[in-house]
Amino acid sequence: MAVMISHTSNAQKFLEDASGLTNSAGNPRVKTLIHRILCDSVKIIEDLSVTPEEFWRAVNYLNVLGVRQEAGLLVAGLGVEHYLDLLMDAEDKLAGKSGGTPRTIEGPLYVAGAPLSDFEARLDDGTDLGVVLFMQGQVRNTSGEPLAGAVVDVWHANTLGTYSYFDTTQWEFNLRRRIVTDANGRYRFRSIVPSGYGCPPDGPTQQLLDQLGRHGQRPAHVHFFISAPDHRHLTTQINLDGDRYLHDDFAYATRDELIAKIIFTDDPERAAAYGITGRFAEIDFDFTLQLSDQPKEQQRHERVRALEG
């Protein structure tokens, strides 16, 4: 029979003290959060009879997670980041906010301040010999009006499944651009077809997923922030149709409305019209934003991001 002491007044007083609830300095919100975390932690330790060995293994795990900069990957892999999306969806429903392209997770690999251009851009620097991708579409609002001057902030992995900046062998903004839509709300870009990717196989996220009997793979995808004045900021991704992990994403980011059809073509005449030779791929994808008069909703959530700030 496990020994339970967390309900005793001594233990409760001690946890309140450790959380700073018994002093008047510090930050009340942080105290409330830490108090709850401490109370729930000792409950877990008691209820599941966590051994000292397990406890210290978990402490060490957090250290390794930090050293490897994988905390953002772990919260995606455990589905917590997707859970936040589900929660925001439910809040929207309750508030009567509906329509538009669904949100999905940002992931940990955005870099702020990518080069900005009007209407079109080339994302790749020509060093990755992947299949050339032409993507285009329109940004509209839920009333169907095209949004001129919207910013399509796009980032994706290369054919090895790595991201510039974090993969220091690439130029820091390779496969990253911000494109301002034209008078008809349209954007277009040339890039390369990205690959899916997995968690670093020797890292702590994959190590934990192994213990859960889960893989750490993502389908090929392209990330977007879409924003326009007087509209709600959208954080989303498109997932490329046909990928074997499309409906088995370790980060749970795929949503039906975000599956993008990708058409591969070998037609030399059409390639020539694009000014290229060989096989290429095309994606057409439109984004729809909800109206908003609230400045906070018009911006992405605050979090620590590379080069932001």
Amino acid at the residue 162: T
Name the CA dihedral angle for 206, 78, 55, 34, rounded to a multiple of 10 degrees. 140
Q: What minimum distance in Å lies between the beta carbon of 301 and Fe ion?
A: 17
Q: Tokens 């030779």 sit at which residue?
A: 277
Q: What minimum distance in Å lies between the beta carbon of 291 and Fe ion?
A: 28
Q: What minimum distance in Å lies between the beta carbon of 220 and Fe ion?
A: 9
Q: Going by DSSP bridges, is the β-strand pair 287-289/186-192 parallel, antiparallel, or unpaired?
A: unpaired
Alpha-carbon gap, residue 217 to 199, rounded angstroms:
7
Tokens of residue 226, six digits = 């879409």
Q: What minimum distance in Å lies between the beta carbon of 198 and Fe ion?
A: 11
- Specify the residue, 72 or 107, whose C-beta has the smaller distance to Fe ion: 107
- Specify the residue, 107 or 203, whose C-beta has the smaller distance to Fe ion: 107
Q: 280 in helix, strand or coil?
A: strand
Report the sign of the C-alpha dihedral through residues 231, 102, 192, 172, in that order. Answer: positive
- Specify the residue, 186 or 255, whose C-beta has the smaller distance to Fe ion: 255
CB 240 within 8 A of CB 262: yes
Q: What minimum distance in Å lies between the beta carbon of 66 and Fe ion?
A: 21
**Under the rule (CB under 5 A), what is the footprint of Fe ion?**
107
Alpha-carbon gap, residue 10 to 293, rounded angstroms:
50
Alpha-carbon gap, residue 281 to 271, rounded angstroms:
10
- Specify the residue, 251 or 289, whose C-beta has the smaller distance to Fe ion: 251
Nearest-5° Cα angle at 224, 85 to 305: 75
Q: What minimum distance in Å lies between the beta carbon of 258 and Fe ion?
A: 13
- Specify the residue, 100 or 107, whose C-beta has the smaller distance to Fe ion: 107
Alpha-carbon gap, residue 77 to 105, rounded angstroms:
11
- Specify the residue, 157 or 228, whose C-beta has the smaller distance to Fe ion: 157
